[in-house]
């Protein structure tokens, strides 16, 4: 029989039982904490999220630039580019046949010549001989006429001594009147031949028909010329023209020169001149034909003394491309606005007294690059919006920039973002 375990008295003291009870209480506390945590997690998961509702914040009204409009006298800004052409030029041709002998010193290209200046000489040997022959033929015809007049006097003396009256026809024959008329006609023919030969001799020297500048010598010395052969190119430098194209709507603002006074003034400039240099011109004509490519109206602008030979102004050369700034006649009672203020369809945005946007369709009489001119559709003192808006709506609230309240309507400005 196995032996029973022995127990010491210390195994039954209160301390041993207290150690076992403390271990059981800690376990219960751990289980309780887990249960509370699980219950809290379940409560959080089971509760729906709550969103706090707040009153919506009203977006601020867009800030815009405006101009205040007033009726005034105004004119559009008209400018264009044109090419310089000659008002008058001539290719002087020979009127007689012969050899081109030489050019005179005045015929050098670039020289300014006066009217009647000799430019080209043609060999005139044959022409001088022809003149001598014509003069001899004239002398012979005059001698024949003198002899015939003597014969007429003799015939008249014989007729008177005959003592009979003849009919008018027979008397004319007896007095040799047909022979006299023939001799007189031969003299006239010979005189005309002499004058023609003298004229052709004079034409062997080509002269300037009017004051101008020699542009080019078209042939060289020794060339054989026929009647009508062009020899030298002459350009009138007293005045040049500029041919320029403008839209048809611009014609109503310009005035060509006429009996009622001078034409509209024009300022001309070109890149070849120094900065700030310019010339003045005058609109002299509106051409009847439109420009072929752009179907625009064509005008002629005249410039006096284009080479500056007398006034010392910068020279304007043939073929130059110049910029023209026209001075149109102003009109009264127009509104001047920056081009940025005009919307598609000739619509303006007006800021009313309640600081709201209102669309306004207007009558535009000129639409330039920087300015537009309006004659109908606005009232004096109204504020026109010049800024761009992303989604403009009629009646939307806007705010005006304080700095722009006193901006003149005609002042050009860039839209701000």
pLDDT of 16 reads: 47
Structural domain includes residue 49: no
pLDDT of 390 reads: 82
**Is the CB of residue 100 less than 8 Å from the CB of residue 339?**
no
Nearest alpha-carbon partner for 301 in 331, 330, 329, 262: 262
**Is the CB of residue 262 less than 8 Å from the CB of residue 213?**
no
Structural domain includes residue 257: yes
pLDDT of 259 reads: 73
pLDDT above 50: residue 241? yes
Q: Look at strands 112-113 and 265-269 and give their pairing.
A: unpaired
- When divided into structural domains, the chain yields a total of 3
- Same-domain pairing of 312 and 384: no
Structural domain includes residue 276: yes
CA 361 to chain centre: 31
pLDDT of 57 reads: 63
Is the model more confident about 164 or about 371? 371
Nearest alpha-carbon partner for 175 in 196, 159, 198: 159
Structural domain includes residue 266: yes
- Same-domain pairing of 322 and 336: no
Mean pLDDT estimate for the chain: 84
Interatomic CA distance for residues 156 and 176, integer angstroms? 9
**Is the CB of residue 98 less than 8 Å from the CB of residue 122?**
yes
Tell me the Ramachandran region of residue 222: left when phi exceeds 0, alpha when psi lies from -120 to 50, beta otherwise.
Answer: left
pLDDT above 60: residue 71? yes
Of 37-51, 330-344, 345-359, 398-412, the range with the lowest mean pLDDT is: 398-412
- Same-domain pairing of 317 and 361: no
Structure confidence by residue, pLDDT tens digits, 167-209: 777 776 766 778 888 888 999 999 999 999 999 999 999 999 9
Residue span of the structural domain in which 286 resides: 79-84+236-326
- Same-domain pairing of 355 and 312: no
- Same-domain pairing of 336 and 321: no
pLDDT of 163 reads: 66
Hey, what's the torsion of the CAs at 209, 210, 213, 217, to 10 degrees?
-10
Which of 272, 300, 326 marks a domain boundary? Answer: 326
CATH code at 363? 2.40.420.20
- What is the arithmetic mean of pLDDT over 131-145? 92
**Is the CB of residue 296 less than 8 Å from the CB of residue 248?**
yes
Which of 277, 295, 326 marks a domain boundary? Answer: 326
Structure confidence by residue, pLDDT tens digits, 172-183: 676 677 888 888
pLDDT above 50: residue 326? yes
- Same-domain pairing of 292 and 339: no
Element (H, E) at 374: strand 371-376
- Same-domain pairing of 290 and 263: yes
Structural domain includes residue 342: yes
CATH code at 287? 2.40.30.170
- Same-domain pairing of 259 and 189: no
Structural domain includes residue 170: yes
- Same-domain pairing of 247 and 318: yes
Show the beta-strand stretches assigned E in 199-246.
Answer: 205-207, 212-217, 224-225, 230-235, 239-246
Other Cβ atoms within 10 Å of 40 Cβ, number = 10
Interatomic CA distance for residues 306 and 222, integer angstroms? 35
- What is the arithmetic mean of pLDDT over 222-238? 93
Question: In the chain, what percentage of residues exceed pLDDT 90?
Answer: 52
Computed from CA positions of residues 104, 108, 113, 115, in that sequence, does the dihedral angle turn out positive or negative?
positive
- Where does 222-276 have alpha helices with state H? none
- Same-domain pairing of 194 and 251: no
Which of 300, 326, 352 marks a domain boundary? Answer: 326
- What is the arithmetic mean of pLDDT over 262-270? 93
Structural domain includes residue 10: no
Structure confidence by residue, pLDDT tens digits, 273-322: 888 899 999 999 999 988 877 788 999 999 999 999 888 899 999 999 99
SS3 74: strand
- Same-domain pairing of 241 and 178: no
Of 55-64, 97-106, 118-127, the range with the lowest mean pLDDT is: 55-64
């Amino acid at each position: 029989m196995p032996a029973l375990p022995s127990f010491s008295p210390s195994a039954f003291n209160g301390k041993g039982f207290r150690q076992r009870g403390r271990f059981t209480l800690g376990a219960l506390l751990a289980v309780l904490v887990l249960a509370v945590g699980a219950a809290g997690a379940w409560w959080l998961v089971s509760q729906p999220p709550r969103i706090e509702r707040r009153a919506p914040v009203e977006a601020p009204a867009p800030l815009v630039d405006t101009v205040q409009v007033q009726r005034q006298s105004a004119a559009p800004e008209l400018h264009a580019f044109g090419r310089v052409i000659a008002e008058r030029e001539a290719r002087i041709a020979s009127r007689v046949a012969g050899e081109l002998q030489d050019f005179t010193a005045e015929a050098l290209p670039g020289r300014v010549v006066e009217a009647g200046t000799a430019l080209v000489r043609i060999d005139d040997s044959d022409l001088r001989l022809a003149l001598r022959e014509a003069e001899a033929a004239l002398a012979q015809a005059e001698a024949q006429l003198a002899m015939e007049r003597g014969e007429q006097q003799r015939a008249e003396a014989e007729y008177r001594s005959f003592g009979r009256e003849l009919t008018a026809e027979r008397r004319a024959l007896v007095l040799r009147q047909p022979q006299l008329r023939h001799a007189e006609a031969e003299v006239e023919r010979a005189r005309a031949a002499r004058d023609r030969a003298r004229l052709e001799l004079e034409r062997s020297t080509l002269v300037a028909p009017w004051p101008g500048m020699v542009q080019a010598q078209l042939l060289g010395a020794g060339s054989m010329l026929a009647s009508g052969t062009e020899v030298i190119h002459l350009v009138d430098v007293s005045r040049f023209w500029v041919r320029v194209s403008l839209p048809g709507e611009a014609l109503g603002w310009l005035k060509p020169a006429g009996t009622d006074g001078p034409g509209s003034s024009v300022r001309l400039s070109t890149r070849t001149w120094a900065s700030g240099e310019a010339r003045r011109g005058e609109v002299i004509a509106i051409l009847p034909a439109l420009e072929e490519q752009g179907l625009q109206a064509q005008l002629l602008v005249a410039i006096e003394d284009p080479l500056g030979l007398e006034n010392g102004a910068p020279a304007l050369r043939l073929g130059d491309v110049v910029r023209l700034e026209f001075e149109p006649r102003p009109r009264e009672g127009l509104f001047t606005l920056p081009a940025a203020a005009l919307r598609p369809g000739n619509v303006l945005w007006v800021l009313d007294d309640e600081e709201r946007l209102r669309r306004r369709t207007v009558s535009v009489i000129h639409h330039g690059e920087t300015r537009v001119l309006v004659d109908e559709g606005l009232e004096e003192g109204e504020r026109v919006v010049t800024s761009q808006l992303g989604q403009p709506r009629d009646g939307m609230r806007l705010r005006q920039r304080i700095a722009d309240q006193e901006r003149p309507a005609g002042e050009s400005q860039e839209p701000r973002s």
